[in-house]
Amino acid sequence: MDIGVFNVIFGIITGIVVLVILVAVHELGHGIVARRNGVVLEEFGIGFPPRAFAKKLKNGVVFSLNWLPLGGFVKLQGEHDAASKKGDYGAATFWQKTKILLAGVLVNWVVAAVLLTILALVGLPKILPNQFSVPADTNLSTGPVVLSSVVKDYPAAKAGLQSGDKIISIDGQKITTPDQLIAQTKADRGKTVTVDYTRDGTPASKKVTLRDANTAVFGSTLSQTQSIRATWSAPIVGVATTGQFTWVTIQGLGQLLANLVTGIFGQLSPDQTTRKAASTNLAAAGDSVAGPIGILGTIFPAASKAGPKEVLFLAAVISLTLAVMNTLPIPSLDGGRWFVTALYKVRKQKLTKEKEEKIQAIGFSVLMILVVVVTIGDVTKLFK
């Protein structure tokens, strides 16, 4: 099997396993807190039906494995807010329902904090300029210069270099920073140089004839990672970084919403400049979102190829994102369900089964439309 195909398949499998685990522990949080608050947990399922396997445990809960690997679920007795029998979710107090609904959010947040704590011990990627660390217990390490991408028909690509290659030296001159590579290639423009690099851990070298020009003499974009390592302060770094990333995620969602709204309404403007700016905002919104195909088909394979630390980091970020998303007042998500319950409680109106089902159905339909739109965008990106 071609190594590229293997990496994609392995990445997809890794992504499915990670996503199933993160959603399953989220749902398990709901189930545990529900039982502790007197609500009967009827079933805890991994994946979605049709069923592949089911067993009734000693505590009366049905544990099931299902064929669709899209996460997991818990089934509570009397899940509608209007249910009133003993053991029903609907019969729980407002405070008990709040704890049950937010339990999944808390579990995902804790999982993110634990994963980031582990990474702080072995090397936590530094992606924020002001990323938290304890100066007295911080070792900042820098990775090699990596070719993020190579430009077709330019020297790097013509020589056979590929994205992901790690540059070691040029004509014996060790390369330790992107700026150093840029300066070295500019100084040697028009010449043929020997580039030493590693690909998938294997050392190699290529003869590259640089362009005799003022710009793009090599033809690639560059990146370099930095990692924070800690010892006794790792738990502090893990929790604090989770808080930082939570805020950054919220800001990112706000920017996404702003780009989406201004982009949609800007398209209605008669002014051509405004419409052009609106199109840019819509493009930015589309580029910042990834759906199932983007996550499983592109992001996870890239992370899997980079190494286990990158997979753990991606899992932490996704867990954190699940936590943030489920606090939003979107019907069919935890935050939306709580918001609807709270709204009817404040208005002192009864939330009937019919009303609740209608609200959740509308919310679910909107979410599915968004998933379809984002998935189409993912497919489009794959074929660009």
pLDDT in tens, 55-88: 999 989 999 999 988 789 999 999 988 888 999 9
What's the CATH code of the domain at 207?
A: 2.30.42.10
Number of domains in the chain: 2
In a domain, 374, yes or no: yes
Specify whether 1 is located in the same domain as 24.
yes
Residues 6+ apart with CB under 8 A from 153: none
Structure tokens at 167: 């540059």
Query: What one-character DSSP code corresponds to residue 175?
Result: -
- Does residue 144 contact residue 224 with C-beta atoms inside 8 Å? yes
pLDDT at position 215, please? 81
Residues 114 and 26 in one domain: yes
SS3 315: helix
CA dihedral 234→239→242→248, nearest 10 degrees, is -110
Determine contact, residues 329/336, Cβ cutoff 8 Å: yes
Tell me: do 288 and 340 sit in the same domain: yes
CB 30 within 8 A of CB 103: yes
Q: Do 96 and 119 belong together in one domain? A: yes
Instruction: Note whether 92 and 192 are same-domain residues.
Output: no
Clarify whether residues 334 and 374 are in a common domain. Answer: yes
**Residue-range definition of the domain harbouring residue 269:** 1-40+77-136+233-384
Neighbour tally for 361: CB within 10 Å: 12
Judged by DSSP in three states, 98 sits in: helix
User: In this prediction, what percent of the chain has a pLDDT beyond 70?
Assistant: 79
Residue numbers in the chain where pLDDT is lower than 70 = 1-8, 10-11, 256-272, 274-306, 368-384
